[in-house]
Amino acid sequence: MEKLLQSLQPLYNQPWFPYALGLIGLLFAYSVFMTLKSLPKLVMYPIILATAVIVFMNWVYHRNEPEILSPVVNMIAQFLPTGV
């Protein structure tokens, strides 16, 4: 894995690289959603909810949320522990 990351190092400074990672992330999320869609809804929705809660708690704890969501996270962060 480390060798792969070292070989990708020159790409990190390319202006299109974040967009490529975003596209790969969207394709991955779509494939996971389609896989979950084949499960019963009683199983699918708790998995999606648990994933969303874990991501949101990570944003609150590390304060690395997207800028557009900062007002919402600021409102909720006062009730939760933060790592900052």
Q: Please state the domain extents for the chain.
A: 14-77
Side chain identity at residue 73, one-letter code: V
User: pTM for the complete prediction?
Assistant: 0.59
Name the DSSP letter for residue 70. Answer: H
Distances from the Cα of 21 to the Cα of 14, 24, 70, angstroms: 12, 5, 23
Distance CA(78)–CA(80), nearest Å, equals: 6
Amino acid sitting at position 27: L
Over 80: is that where the pLDDT of 81 sits? no
The pLDDT score that the predictor gives to residue 40 is: 92
**pLDDT (tens digit per residue) in 6-64:** 888 888 888 888 889 899 999 998 998 899 888 898 988 898 899 999 988 888 888 88
Angle at 55 between CA 50 and CA 59, to 5 degrees: 145
Residue 84 is predicted with a pLDDT of 62
What stretch of H or E contains 8? helix 2-8
